[in-house]
């Protein structure tokens, strides 16, 4: 069900718009300011495009482009003019919005940050990407976990960013914390197209969770982002899919969090998010509640180690032109401590 892309909104529906935003070039503060204005304009387009829309979602890198430039002059703070402009746009157009920024971090490399702002201009969700796309991305690994909020119409909402979605544990964490809708914003380029599609569907099906996923779109003269807006239902079926690669197209659909809740309570076969922690409940009362997974136990003990660990060849960003880091996770740069 998608209500003809959200045109026919049901009483329990949440209409989502995914903006396949044109990939920009942002090398100067002036270009950053212009791109901020472009995003604000697109919030207005989303509202004019569909009066029923509850949430408009912009891709990762929609403000900064794909240059991986960490110039402090281009980095953004939560109290800066860019976030203020996004807040004002959400208020003006009476719509929730999901936005991407590269956030200043005096203690280390910038964070790749996603925010969700409500229709009253308040930041309701604030997330730092846990899994930067190594070795390509220089961003600091996130340190805030995965928040889940009450989103539009009370739907439980989470956000992950791009490469995060390649780890099944990320979607599982969202669902485990109650998310009924998971957003996945990305800047992925065409080589990732098939992986993008099947992980989006798997993330939905394995967790009985709606996922709404979108990439940047078009070319900046170097990179070609693919758009590929995908809204996937909790059974893994694709509700809406932007397959044309048309920049600035907004992919829309209505989703039903109430049906997610119904499935999570009523499904027996393939209720995997429940069955993970209740193995074999037909044979034993309540199912087995232990943790049979070595990797989980090792990670908690901070002893995660692959059998082929010592033979892994790419373990820093030097293949992509970055200097090998010397600072450990949790340590801050000396100048930040002064």
Q: Strand 156-161 vs strand 148-150: parallel, antiparallel, or unpaired? A: antiparallel
Active site residue 120: no
3-state secondary structure of 102: strand
Task: Give Cα 253 distance to the centre of its chain.
Answer: 18
Residue-wise DSSP of 216-282: -EEE-SS-EEE---EEE-TTS-EEEE--S--TTEEEEEEE-HHHHHHHHHH--TT-HHHHTTSBTTT
Q: Is 272 left (phi over 0), alpha (psi -120 to 50) or beta?
A: alpha
Residue among 162, 174, 215, 217 flagged as catalytic = 162
Residue among 36, 60, 174, 180 flagged as catalytic = 60
Given 3-state DSSP classes, what are the helix, strand and coil percentages for the chain, each rounded to the nearest 5? 30, 25, 45
Task: Give Cα 12 distance to the centre of its chain.
Answer: 24
Alpha carbons 305 and 303: distance in angstroms, whole number = 6
Alpha carbons 162 and 243: distance in angstroms, whole number = 18
Residue among 22, 36, 87, 129 flagged as catalytic = 129
Active site residue 9: no
Active site residue 129: yes
Q: Which residues are catalytic?
A: 60, 129, 162
């Amino acid at each position: 069900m998608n209500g003809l892309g959200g045109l026919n909104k049901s009483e329990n529906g949440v209409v989502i718009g995914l903006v396949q935003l044109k990939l920009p070039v942002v090398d100067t503060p002036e270009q950053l300011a212009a791109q901020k204005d472009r995003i604000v304009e697109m919030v207005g387009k989303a509202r004019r495009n569909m009066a029923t829309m509850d949430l408009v979602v912009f891709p990762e890198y929609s403000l900064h482009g794909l240059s991986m430039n960490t110039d402090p002059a281009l980095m953004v703070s939560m109290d800066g003019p860019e976030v203020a402009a996004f807040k004002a746009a959400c208020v003006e157009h009476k719509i929730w919005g999901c936005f991407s920024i590269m956030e200043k971090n005096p203690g280390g490399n910038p964070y790749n940050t996603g925010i969700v702002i409500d229709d009253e201009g308040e930041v309701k969700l604030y997330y730092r990407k846990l899994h930067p796309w190594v070795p390509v991305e220089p961003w600091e690994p996130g340190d805030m976990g995965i928040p889940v909020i009450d989103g539009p119409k009370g739907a439980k909402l989470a956000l992950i960013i791009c490469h995060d979605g390649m780890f099944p544990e990320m979607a599982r964490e969202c669902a485990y914390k109650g998310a009924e809708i998971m957003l996945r914003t990305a800047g992925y380029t065409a080589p990732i197209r098939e992986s993008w599609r099947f992980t989006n569907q798997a993330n939905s099906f394995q967790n009985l969770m709606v996922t709404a996923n979108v990439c940047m779109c078009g070319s900046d003269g170097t990179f070609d982002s693919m758009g590929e807006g995908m809204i996937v239902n909790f059974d893994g079926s694709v509700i809406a899919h932007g397959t044309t690669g048309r920049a600035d197209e907004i992919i829309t659909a209505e989703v039903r969090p109430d049906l997610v809740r119904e499935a999570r309570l009523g499904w027996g076969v393939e209720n995997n998010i429940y069955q993970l922690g209740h193995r074999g409940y037909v044979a034993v009362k309540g199912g087995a509640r232990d943790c049979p997974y070595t990797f989980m136990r090792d990670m908690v003990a901070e002893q995660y180690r692959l059998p082929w660990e010592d033979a892994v060849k790419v373990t820093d960003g030097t293949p992509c032109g970055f200097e090998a880091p010397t600072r450990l996770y949790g340590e801050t740069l000396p100048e930040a401590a002064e």
